[in-house]
């Protein structure tokens, strides 16, 4: 075996343990009764330590140095680059920190499930202080190893190549045009009338509708499932992708589009190159690219007129005891493009969403760089929310800084991916329409040409290319936020 | 740390990985889409190898020899005995065999799920030949290490202390009185008339009914769940016990009592001593004792007049659109005590069940001892089924030797536990009635006194005692099959 082959075999071993972590993590969020949490958290922490041990085995250094002088083709070179990236990131951290953060994150997240409903900031803060402290330690260690700032070193986990300097520029620009665009859209929609769902929408029927929409989006049910969890996510492994949603029986609108969103994540995972299964090069390129796929499904396809037509028709057939006017195309279009300044990011519309992300970005950047303390967060949140969307969150923690799961378990550096994803998605759509009749495909109900484009240009590439290379090969240029602005203006003005 | 403490800490590590194996195994049987099987099997095999590696670490030998001269109290001595038992069993097998058997078993079991329905013996045999071959190799290696016969060395995994010599004696005795008892019961029931379920019994309603019965049996839903799988089982971990059932929408009788059975397994797991969590001494005593708990729930409690009264009443309240006469007490009693010579073990009544077990015992004993070949099994099955229950399984593989999951994944030596369990259960009930008004407790709907007895005498003991000690402490004597025979005669004659 060559050193490169040894590295690949070792990577497959790690991938097998990651498989178990993914399934048990999904189970913890969607199936596990609450009394099972302590033992599960301990088992998951043990697994984390084991995986960390595999990633940090001493012989790997020698294998990497040998592999670099081996004769490798382009794919293998890319694979080696990603293996090395993964290895370097893992070797930065001491095992004790990995374990402590995993335990603190599990504990905080589990308690958060009930604390959020109780608006219990004091209770939450006790657990969260430890998560923040350990995350700052992690960032400091990563910063020393990479020469980046602490926050940028966290960002690098999710978005290799992206820095807070570039995000500051990008988001400053967004802040110049977004507020007025939001106000204009709200002004334009002010006189619109529409019907909101009332009455009861049975979970079983919502699920049946969700499954129909997943079929339309060609989700592969031989390699995945739909379940429920408090915070919707896409988990599992490429051969068995687990997406979740949450149902509210007083309305179906959020959950239905949430399923479209997670199906985008899922199809990316299901479309990753099977020949590279178990290798980092066979994994998704970055969180931003992952989000570009879910937002391509949700925003570019899901909110197009042609797709809204399908949604309204399918929903009308499911909920026959409700007022048929609710399921008219016009009404659905209004429901799904309504702009409103509100508290909850996951329920936010396409236009206010970037404002939520920028708020979180600015806070987590300063928190991880040690410029602010965890106890400053509620006040800062309130301040920035007032500035960006004119809303007060004073004393309203559950709809403020306690609303998201990301910080709860220490995933700092992740939030920018959402808006990067929205920008990439707009750019992909702009490029796709040059060669494909996207509207015609959606109208026909056979969306295959769209998925073939995504598979050819994004999914099947895994991490063989860098993000910039991937986007340039697919669209002819690297990230250009103008497409996002154009898309929003076209839809909302 | 003393050597004993090191062994306990190491055992907790192993237990954490077993936790992951249990949850992913449950998922594989109850949640996983079929396309996920290959990657899952590989991940599970990798985990098996890892656990095997932990069980066979070289320093353990030294720790065991040091621990034996340490000052230990009675509980710690018992814990050490069980740690050593687990260690010796694991160290017998080479890692390559563990991995090969895990892969072959997963492959065979997964294919069996569809092959059984298709009666595809030829297809099944291709995979199964490998499982049998590897199991024979395993038994041979275990036999050389223990000085037992190959089959007895497999039996020792599930029933420490039990030999085929003792089973031959026990089962020979059963064969002297069982056939005539079956015939007499059938003759007695011949003139009885009763109503069998017809029409549709919705899965959702069956599940709701099952959950109500689990509540009556005080299943702890904070530490467990009910789901579905092809072959019902009790899995998970003591802090999170996963039981499964399968629903047939043309009747509810089998599934309902299946839930009672699995709840017995589950309450044993939920009642294991928490202070010994993660140590072999904190685990269930043996498969026979495990089955004694499920059969105590199913046969001793579940088919008592007082419990049948609850079942009939709860079912009647659930299925209100059916003929109320179906849910009369007399009718339920007849449905649940009907004796019939039939093909399927898991659907067999209490009286013919031991005949099924004895058939499997005799075949697997000879198969593992190399006296017969895997290709002989269908013919032998047919022969023995004709002798014991007068039924032909010629060409009817799916209702013959392909009906069970146990052999499919190589769990040879397990079947005798079912009948040992039935015998222990009868003995426990006989003893319990001396101090507790069992019928009164069941009638009242508060079965706590029964569960307290089981908890005190069985559940909370884990594996601190040997099986013989456990049974003697609980009932005043070791296994005495006369109680089983008395119980059957009292119920069926």
What are the pLDDT digits (tens) for A257-300?
999 999 999 999 999 999 999 999 999 999 999 999 999 999 99
Residue A3 structure tokens: 């050193």
**Banded pLDDT at B95 (limits 50, 70, 90):** confident
DSSP symbol at A142? H
The per-residue pLDDT for A346 is 85
Residue A243 DSSP SS3:
strand
The per-residue pLDDT for B9 is 97
A140 shares its domain with A170: no
What are the pLDDT digits (tens) for B359-380?
999 999 999 999 999 999 999 9
B179 shares its domain with B136: no
Residue B88 structure tokens: 């010796």
Please name every residue paired with A226 in a beta bridge, in sequence order, or none if there are none: A243
Domain with A99, as residue range(s), is: 3-147
The verdict on a CB contact (< 8 Å) between B240 and A33 is yes
Helix (H) or strand (E) holding B38: helix B37-55
**Banded pLDDT at A90 (limits 50, 70, 90):** confident
Average pLDDT, chain B: 96
B130 shares its domain with B172: no
CB-based contact B291:B268 (threshold 8 Å): no
The per-residue pLDDT for A217 is 98
Pairing mode, strands B224-228 and B234-237: unpaired
A267 shares its domain with A343: yes
Q: Rounded CA gap, B483 and B429, in Å?
A: 9
Cβ contacts of A236 on chain B, cutoff 8 Å: 36
The per-residue pLDDT for B208 is 98
What are the pLDDT digits (tens) for B122-137?
999 999 999 999 999 9
The per-residue pLDDT for B347 is 86
Residue A248 DSSP SS3:
strand
The verdict on a CB contact (< 8 Å) between A40 and B16 is no
Q: What are phi and psi of A32, to 5 degrees?
A: -65, 130
> How crowded is residue B446: how many other Cβ atoms within 10 Å of its Cβ?
13
**CA–CA–CA angle A272, A278, A284 (5° rounding):** 35
Residue B279 DSSP SS3:
coil
The per-residue pLDDT for A454 is 98
B136 shares its domain with B185: no
DSSP symbol at A343? S
A385 shares its domain with A441: yes
**Residue A125 clears pLDDT 90, i.e. is over it:** yes
The verdict on a CB contact (< 8 Å) between B17 and A223 is no
Mean pLDDT across the stretch A77-103?
A: 91
The per-residue pLDDT for B90 is 86
Mean pLDDT across the stretch A294-314?
A: 98
To the question of whether residue B212 is assigned a binding role by annotation, the answer is no
For chain B, what is the domain count? 2
Cβ contacts of B23 on chain A, cutoff 8 Å: 23-24, 27, 40
What are the pLDDT digits (tens) for B317-361?
999 999 999 999 999 999 999 999 999 998 899 999 999 999 999
Helix H segments across B233-304?
Answer: 253-271, 287-295
Q: What are phi and psi of A228, to 5 degrees?
A: -120, 145
Cβ contacts of B226 on chain A, cutoff 8 Å: none
A407 shares its domain with A421: yes
Mean pLDDT across the stretch B38-60?
A: 94
- Closest to B416 in 3D by CA, of B365, B370, B372, B382: B365
User: Among the three residues A84, A116, A147, which one is the final residue of a domain in this structure?
Assistant: A147
Pairing mode, strands A240-245 and B224-228: unpaired
The verdict on a CB contact (< 8 Å) between A20 and B47 is yes
Residue A14 structure tokens: 């790690």
Q: Which residues of A274-305 are buried (b: 16+ CB within 10 A; e: fewer)?
A: eebbbbbbbbbbbbbbbbbbbbbbbbbbbbbe
The verdict on a CB contact (< 8 Å) between A19 and B240 is no
A119 shares its domain with A167: no
The per-residue pLDDT for B422 is 98
A435 shares its domain with A409: yes
B76 shares its domain with B164: no
**Banded pLDDT at B99 (limits 50, 70, 90):** confident
User: Among the three residues B147, B180, B198, which one is the final residue of a domain in this structure?
Assistant: B147
Q: Rounded CA gap, B326 and B319, in Å?
A: 10
Q: How far is CA A1 from CA A6, A315, A401, in A?
A: 6, 56, 51
Q: What are phi and psi of A412, to 5 degrees?
A: -75, 140
Q: What is the CATH number of the domain that holds B255?
A: 1.10.1370.30
| Binding-site residue ranges of A | 261, 265, 291
R_g (Cα) of chain B, nearest Å? 22
Going along B296-359, which residue ranges are E strands?
A: none
Interface of A with B in 8-47 (CB under 8 A): 13, 16-17, 19-20, 23-24, 27, 31-36, 38-40, 42-44, 46-47
- ipTM field: 0.89
Q: Going edge to edge, which strands form the sheet with B234-237?
A: B224-228, B240-245, B234-237
Rounded to 5, what percent of chain B is helix, strand, coil? Answer: 70, 5, 30
Helix (H) or strand (E) holding B89: helix B74-91
Q: Rounded CA gap, A27 and B226, in Å?
A: 14
Mean pLDDT across the stretch B188-207?
A: 95
A6 close to B (CB below 8 A)? no
- CA A227 to chain CA mean position, Å: 17
To the question of whether residue B291 is assigned a binding role by annotation, the answer is yes
User: Among the three residues B147, B166, B185, which one is the final residue of a domain in this structure?
Assistant: B147
What are the pLDDT digits (tens) for A34-77?
999 999 999 999 999 899 899 999 999 999 999 999 999 999 99
Q: Which residues of A88-125 are buried (b: 16+ CB within 10 A; e: fewer)?
A: ebbebbeeebbebbbbbbbbbbbbbeebbeebbbeebb
The per-residue pLDDT for A99 is 84
Name the percent of chain A lying above pLDDT 70.
100
The per-residue pLDDT for B413 is 96
CB-based contact A104:A131 (threshold 8 Å): yes
**Banded pLDDT at B207 (limits 50, 70, 90):** very high
Q: Rounded CA gap, B373 and B91, in Å?
A: 28
B180 shares its domain with B82: no
- Closest to A335 in 3D by CA, of A347, A346, A344: A347
Q: Rounded CA gap, B10 and B22, in Å?
A: 18
Mean pLDDT across the stretch A197-211?
A: 97
**Residue A341 clears pLDDT 90, i.e. is over it:** yes
**Residue A102 clears pLDDT 90, i.e. is over it:** no
Test mutation, A239, A266, A269, chain B, max B CBs within 10 A: A239
Helix H segments across A369-415?
Answer: 377-389
A354 shares its domain with A206: yes
Residue A441 structure tokens: 């495909």
Residue A443 DSSP SS3:
helix
Helix (H) or strand (E) holding B186: helix B164-189
A47: nearest CB among B20, B44, B220: B20
* Active-site entry in B82, B130, B262, B364: B262
**Residue A312 clears pLDDT 90, i.e. is over it:** yes
Q: Rounded CA gap, B392 and B381, in Å?
A: 9
Test mutation, A17, A43, A238, chain B, max B CBs within 10 A: A43
Q: What is the DSSP string of A42-68?
A: HHHHHHHHHHHHHHT-THHHHHHHHHT
**Banded pLDDT at B102 (limits 50, 70, 90):** confident
Q: What are phi and psi of B387, to 5 degrees?
A: -65, -45
Residue B172 structure tokens: 């020979």
């Amino acid at each position: 075996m060559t050193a490169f082959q040894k590295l690949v075999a070792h990577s497959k071993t790690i991938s097998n343990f990651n498989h178990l972590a993914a399934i048990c993590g999904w189970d913890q969020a969607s199936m596990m009764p609450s009394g099972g949490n302590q033992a599960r958290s301990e088992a998951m922490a043990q697994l984390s330590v084991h995986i960390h041990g595999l990633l940090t085995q001493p012989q790997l250094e020698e294998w990497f140095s040998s592999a670099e002088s081996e004769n490798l083709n382009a794919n293998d070179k890319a694979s080696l680059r990603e293996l090395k990236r993964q290895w370097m990131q893992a070797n930065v951290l001491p095992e004790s920190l990995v374990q402590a953060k995993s335990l603190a994150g599990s504990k905080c997240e589990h308690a958060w499930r009930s604390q959020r409903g109780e608006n219990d900031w004091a209770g939450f803060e006790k657990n969260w202080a430890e998560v923040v402290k350990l995350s700052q330690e992690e960032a400091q260690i990563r910063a020393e190893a990479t020469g980046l700032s602490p926050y940028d070193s966290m960002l690098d986990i999710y978005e290799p190549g992206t820095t807070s300097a570039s995000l500051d520029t990008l988001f400053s620009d967004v802040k110049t045009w977004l507020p007025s665009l939001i106000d204009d859209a709200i002004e334009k929609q002010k006189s619109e009338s529409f019907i909101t769902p009332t009455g009861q929408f049975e979970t079983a029927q919502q699920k049946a509708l969700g499954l129909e929409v997943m079929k339309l989006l060609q989700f592969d049910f031989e390699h995945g499932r739909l379940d429920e969890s408090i915070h919707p996510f896409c988990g599992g492994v490429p051969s068995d992708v687990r997406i979740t949603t949450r149902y509210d029986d007083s309305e179906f609108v959020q959950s239905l589009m949430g399923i479209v969103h997670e199906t985008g994540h899922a199809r990316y995972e299901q479309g990753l190159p099977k020949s590279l299964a178990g290798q980092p090069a066979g994994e998704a390129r970055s969180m931003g690219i992952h989000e570009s796929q879910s937002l391509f499904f949700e925003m570019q396809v899901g909110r197009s007129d042609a797709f809204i037509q399908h949604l309204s028709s399918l929903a009308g057939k499911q909920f026959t005891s409700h007022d048929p006017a609710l399921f008219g195309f016009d009404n659905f279009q209004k429901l799904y493009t309504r702009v409103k300044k509100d508290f909850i990011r996951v329920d936010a519309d396409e236009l206010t969403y970037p404002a939520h992300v920028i708020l979180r970005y600015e806070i987590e950047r300063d928190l991880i760089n040690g410029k602010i303390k965890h106890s400053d967060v509620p006040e800062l949140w309130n301040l920035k929310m007032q500035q960006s969307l004119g809303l007060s969150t004073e004393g309203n923690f559950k709809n403020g800084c306690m609303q998201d799961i990301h910080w709860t378990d220490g995933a700092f550096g992740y939030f920018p991916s959402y808006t990067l994803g929205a920008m990439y998605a707009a750019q992909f759509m702009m490029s796709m329409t040059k060669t494909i009749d996207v509207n015609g495909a959606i109208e026909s109900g056979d969306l295959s040409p769209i998925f073939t484009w995504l598979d050819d240009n994004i999914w099947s590439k895994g991490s063989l290319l860098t993000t910039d290379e991937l986007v340039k090969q697919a669209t002819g240029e690297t990230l250009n936020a103008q497409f996002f602005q154009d898309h929003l203006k076209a839809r909302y003005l």
